[in-house]
Amino acid sequence: MNKLKEFIETLTPISDKEFEDSKDNFSKIHLKKEDFFVEQGKICRQIAFINNGTLRTFYINNKAEEITACFCTKNSLTTSYKSFILQEPSLVSIQALEDTELLVIDHEKLQQLYNTSRAWQNIGRQIAEREYFVMEQYAATLNNESAKEKYLRLLNEQPEVLHKASVEDIATYLGVTRRTLSRIRQEIAK
């Protein structure tokens, strides 16, 4: 739970008592490699803090291709955010790339925290704001960076992902084909 508290404190100060009072709302779950945390088409009922492990968010596009939207690594949040907020079917699946440990809280319980605690109202807004920043950064990356630059960014920011994900997963994340990713790697190895 310590890492979770540290994470929350990057958002807003929270007293020990307030954290202790709310921590029963979280529970620990373990995923084995290839287990799903969220499945496309089902409602995502939880938001998770990643204690340990790596996950991949992906969806099936209208050409029936499986596209990686992001990789989620430890000490950050993961959820199908829109599905979680609106409690509507998820457009994405989230799957463990390796054995993974999560701290999860149900949508209902989080709403109760929002309703009973001003600190949690604040945390909720700031989570939304942070999710926005992450998505904005992602969009900026999509817009500005070539596939090669995106690859180098991944190499720099989440290097462990390059060993845990397949070439196919990484290629769809970069928005190119496997062939082009192969050319990119060739060029970088120069």
Partner DNA sequence: ATCATTTGAGGACATTTGTCCTTTCAGTCC
Partner DNA sequence: GGACTGAAAGGACAAATGTCCTCAAATGAT
Q: b or e along 167-182 (b: 16 or more beta carbons within 10 Å of the residue's beta carbon)?
A: eebbbbbbebeeeebe
What letter does residue 43 receive in the DSSP assignment?
A: B
Near its own copies in 144-183, by CB under 8 A: 144, 175
131 binds its own copies (CB under 8 A): yes
Min dist CB 40 to its own copies, Å, is: 13
Count, residues in the chain: 190
Tell me whether residue 61 or residue 166 sits nearer to DNA (CB atom): 166
- Number of amino acids touching its own copies (CB under 8 A): 28
61 binds DNA (CB under 7 A): no
Q: What is the DSSP string of 111-176?
A: HHHHHH-HHHHHHHHHHHHHHHHHHHHHHHHHHH--HHHHHHHHHHH-TTHHHHS-HHHHHHHHTS
121 binds DNA (CB under 7 A): no
Here the tokens at position 162 are 């390059």
Stretch that binds its own copies, among 14-22, 121-129, 152-160, 182-190 (CB under 8 A): 121-129
Near DNA in 135-174, by CB under 7 A: 146-147, 166-168
Q: Is the distance from CB of 59 to CB of 92 less than 8 angstroms?
A: yes
62 binds DNA (CB under 7 A): no
98 binds DNA (CB under 7 A): no
Question: Which residue among 143, 156, 186, 190 contacts its own copies (CB under 8 A)?
Answer: 143
What letter does residue 24 receive in the DSSP assignment?
A: G
Residues that bind its own copies (CB under 8 A): 61-62, 67, 69, 81-82, 85, 91, 114, 118, 121-122, 124-125, 128-129, 131-133, 135-136, 138-140, 142-144, 175
